[in-house]
Structures are given as C-alpha cells and as structure tokens.
Amino acid sequence: MDRRKFIALLSTLAAAHNLRFPLSLKAAEATAAAPATSSAFPDLIGVTGGTPAMMFDRAIAAAGGIDRFVKPGQKVLVKPNIGWDKKPEEGANTSPELVKRIIELCIKAGAGEVRVFDNTCNHWQACYGNSGIEQAVKEAGGKMLMADDASLYTKVEVPAGKVLKTTNVHQAWLDSDVIINVPILKHHGGARMTAAMKNLMGVVSDRRFYHSNDLHQCIADFTTFSKKPTLNIIDAYTVMMRNGPRGVSTADLVTRKMLLMSTDIVAIDTAAARIMELGHQDIAYIGKAFELGSGSNSLDKLRIERLTM
C-alpha cells in the first residue's frame, strides 16, 4: 500500500466514521432535484477529486442548484481573480474552465447578462488574454468588462468600515443583481492568504489606500459594504503555497483538487486557510471581518458538506 492509497483509505474511514459524508451526499442529490428553502442547505460545501468545472457542478447541486441564486432576467457579475499575466497552468488566476462553467449555468438559468471583470495588477489586456479567461467568457456567452479606467468606478460609502469609510467601486459591482465571487486560493506575501475576501480588492480602484491604511482592516471593512457577493466559490484545484500571489514558478504550486462554496465569505475563507495550513487567527482580516459581523469563523458550528468525486 503506497502513501496515497493509505491516505485515501484513511479519509474514507474517517468519512464513514462520522457518517455525515454519505448522508449529506444523498441530501445533495435530493436537493438538486427539488430546491428547498435556503435553511435546508449546508453553510459550506467542499468538493474534491474532480476538475474545477465538475466540482462546481457537484457543489452547486448540493447548494440547491443555480436557480437558487440566479433568477431569469437578472444581471449577473462573475468576479474571478485575473490579477496576473500568467497562463492557467501557472495557478495565479482563477481557472478559466471554472469561470466558463459558472457563466454557462447562469445563462442556462436565464440570466439577462453575465459580466466579468477584474482590476488587474499586471497590464489588463495581457491578464485577460493570457489567463484564458477572456476567451472562456466569450465562449460561454458572457461579457468581459474593462476595469482599468477611473471613470468606470463610483464612489460609495462604507458606513460600518473602521478605516475604509469610502471607496470607489466598479459600476458593474453596483448595478448587478447577483454577484458570484470566484477567487483562486493562493499564498499572499502581504495578506498571508488570498481567497474570497481578498479577491474583492479587485473591484475597487485604489488598492494603494488599502495597503497604506491597514490592509487587513480594509479588506474586512469592505465585507460590510451593502452590496455583497451572493455566492463565493474558491478554486483550490491548484494552490500556490508560497511566493504568492504572483508566484515565481510552478514549483510554488500543489495540486489539491478542491473547490469550496458558501454564501458566508468569512466561513469560506476560514476553511480555505486550513488548506493553506493556516489557522484563521493567522490571517488578521478573517478575525476582523468576523468582528464586523460579516460571517462566521467557527467551522465546528457550521453545517459543512464534504463531497468527494
């Protein structure tokens, strides 16, 4: 028995032991067929073992189907991480096939328009192109938006913010009915980890304000803004474990074949931190967002669905 098989056996035994895994799997299949009220759904869904698109399909079924989040005619915004001029296999941007699958499902659910943008770090055209996301969005029938020009942003108040009282937010964030936040999980030199909350730095125009005014507090403050993501999906198929968020080479990546889904942005980041081998207390913005009432950071109090493909 090699190490991999041993771990697989161990995890199967562990899953069987607490019995939640097989039961909830059945529940997920049942809910996919007939969506029940939101309280019947798990707080957090983790899927492992498939491609990003396959895992998304599985997770969204367990969450009650895309129809639970997207109603016909609604304007949908999908916000991946497209921060870097990197190819998909370099693990710095959200997987294009995942973005594509999300858009396809939204359109199938009757979405009026599905739009995608990110305020990139590298040159935006290079990021949109090399990440494969522009192509994926086009193929899926979505619309790619620009985000490099200050005129595309609108100043908003963040009343509950401790440091971030006002900020300029991309217009598409403000006028969409549904927002699907779909970051890729990575190490981050400054913020320790980038996942769901940190990904929202890509919808404001002035990131330098965050960096010079308590990065963690600003990240947490933005989660209190009245317009919040409807759904958070974390792409953890390949995870950048060091030298993030840009990465030096593919030696920085490990393959975890995971995907997380939750409506609770604090809970999903808390779970993501575990994949990064960090505790939520290691990442200050998780605690700060919890204090601001943006979500839960106690995984043991949540209904977690763990699905293996």
Partner 1 sequence: MVLKNLRRIAGVVMLAAFILIFVRFDSFGGLANAAFITQFSLSAAGPFLWSALLIIASILLLTALAGRVYCSILCPLGLIQDAIIRVKRLFTKASFGQLPDLSLLHYLLAGSVIGLASAGILLPLSLIEPFALAGRLLADLVQPLATMIFKFIAGIMGGGVGWFGQASLKAFDSFNTTLVAASLILLSFLCLIWGRIYCNSICPVGALLRLIAKHSRLRVSIDANKCVSCGSCAKVCKAGCIDTREKLVDHSRCIACFNCLDTCKFSAIGYQLTQGSAMKQCGIFSPGRRAFAGGVAATAAAWLLPRQLLPATEPLMAILPPGAGNQALFTARCISCHLCVAACPSAIIRPASRQPGLLSIQQPSLSFEHGMCEQNCNLCSQICPVMAIRPIISEQKRFLKIGEVFYDKSICVVETNGTDCGACAEHCPTQAVKMVPYRNNLMIPQTDPSICIGCGSCEHICPVRPRRAIVVNPIKEQTFITMPEQEKLPEKAENEFPF
* CA atoms of 251 and 91, how far apart (whole Å): 11
Query: Least distance (Å) from partner 1 to the CB of residue 12?
Result: 9
The residue among 41 and 153 lying less far from partner 1, judged by its C-beta, is: 153
93: its two tokens: 């941007």
Query: Least distance (Å) from partner 1 to the CB of residue 151?
Result: 6
Query: Least distance (Å) from partner 1 to the CB of residue 67?
Result: 27
Measured CA angle at 98 (ends 95, 99), to 5 deg: 90
Contacting residues toward partner 1, per CB under 8 A: 3-4, 7-8, 10-11, 46, 48-49, 85, 117, 121-123, 125-126, 128, 130, 134, 143-147, 149, 151-152, 171-172, 188-192, 207-209, 211-217, 241-246, 248-249, 251-258, 270-271, 274-275, 277, 284, 299, 304, 306, 308
Query: Least distance (Å) from partner 1 to the CB of residue 251?
Result: 4
Report the interhelical angle of 133-140 vs 96-108 (nearest 10°).
20
The residue among 66 and 107 lying less far from partner 1, judged by its C-beta, is: 107
- CA 269 vs CA 115, 142, 277, 297: distances in Å: 24, 27, 12, 8
What 3-state DSSP class applies to 79?
A: strand
DSSP collapsed to 3 states, 99-112: HHHHHHHHHHCCCC
Tell me the residue type at 105: L
Query: Least distance (Å) from partner 1 to the CB of residue 218?
Result: 9
The residue among 35 and 308 lying less far from partner 1, judged by its C-beta, is: 308
The residue among 38 and 212 lying less far from partner 1, judged by its C-beta, is: 212
* CA atoms of 20 and 80, how far apart (whole Å): 31
| 113-116 and 75-80 strand pairing | parallel
The residue among 70 and 271 lying less far from partner 1, judged by its C-beta, is: 271
